[in-house]
Amino acid sequence: MYNLTCVSGFQLMGFSEDPDLQFVLFGLFLSMYLITVLGNLLIILAVISDSHLHTPMYFFLSNLSFVDICFTSTTVPKMIVDILTHNRVISYAGCLIQMSLFLISGCMDDMLLAVMAYDRFVAICHPLHYTVIVNPRQCVLLILVCVFLSILDSQLHNLVALRFTCFKDVEIANFFCDPSQLLNLSCSDHLIKTTVIYTVGVMFGFFPISGIFFSYYKIITSILKITSSTGRYKAFSTCSSHLSAVCLFYGTGIGTYLDSHGSYSPIRGMVASLMYTVVNPMLNPFIYSLRNRDISNTLKKFHIWRV
């Protein structure tokens, strides 16, 4: 039996209640947010300004950078304001809006990583047909599919969440309106919540990552057939940045979202959420620029980047 509570808002959990640490946390998260926005904007600017980067790979990368800015902006500004005002309350409507934007951005990140793996698969395994298969029309179509699936996921969560009027508690064990946490607080049928969590996990977790695994299986198979060590290194170097971003994103995101009820730890969950909502988008510009000579050379022209 639970004490059912009809709420108009929720209380978000902070990283620390210590007043002496609030200024440190404020400076830390503000710095990370500014680095994320600036770094990803530089990637977008580099791709737009250099005609040599007007290729499918960099088109998808610029879209990923834009989505990373949106992804971080759905959670970090609210967290910074909460630290300043010492008020972690968020309204029910505000929670649904934040959850919707979070899901759209997160799923776009998820889908784009899969699309970029497909792009590398075609480039390495079918180089002679690359310009035909991954043409500008196909690129735009893939982005539109990603947007559609992301909005579909967001609306699916909203339709389920709007059915909830009573909750076991008003405190969300995270620094933002985490969809899985909101579902756990609801007093609806446990079967419905479990079905939604694992259905979405399979659709937007298992299928994309399966596509990434298949793409890299084919890529590795093709690379091993290359007799020249220089050729192998060159082929693998085009995938190393993307592979690093995939490991960082999926290593924290899926594990947190599909974490079981019994083993869930609020502190561990917040740290993992921080990794894939803040740290991952912040590191992506460094991953793609430091390992990519084309991006590095373009950024050097702006006299603001040194490698």
Is it the case that residue 83 has pLDDT exceeding 90?
no
Q: Is the pLDDT of residue 53 over 80?
A: yes
- Under the banding of pLDDT at 50, 70 and 90, the label for residue 72 is very high
pLDDT of 292 > 80? The answer is no
pLDDT attached to residue 127:
86
125 neighbors 218 (Cβ within 8 angstroms): yes
Tell me the per-residue pLDDT of 28-47, one tens digit each, with 9 for 90 and over.
999 999 999 999 998 998 88
Cα 296 to Cα 124, 248, 272: the distances in Å are 22, 22, 30
255 pLDDT above the threshold of 70: no
Distance CA 216, CA 204 (A): 19
pLDDT at 169: 67
Range 186-198 average pLDDT: 67
- As given in the structure block, the two tokens for residue 160 are 């389920």
> Tell me, what's the pLDDT at 34?
94
Top pLDDT among 62 and 205 is at: 62
Distance CA 114, CA 149 (A): 13
Nearest by Cα to 153 from 186, 115, 202, 210: 202
Mean pLDDT of 51-68: 90
Report the pLDDT value the prediction gives residue 3, as an integer from 0 to 100: 43
Domain ranges within the chain, ordered by starting residue: 8-300
Architecture of domain 8-300: Up-down Bundle (1.20)
Residue 188 pLDDT: 61
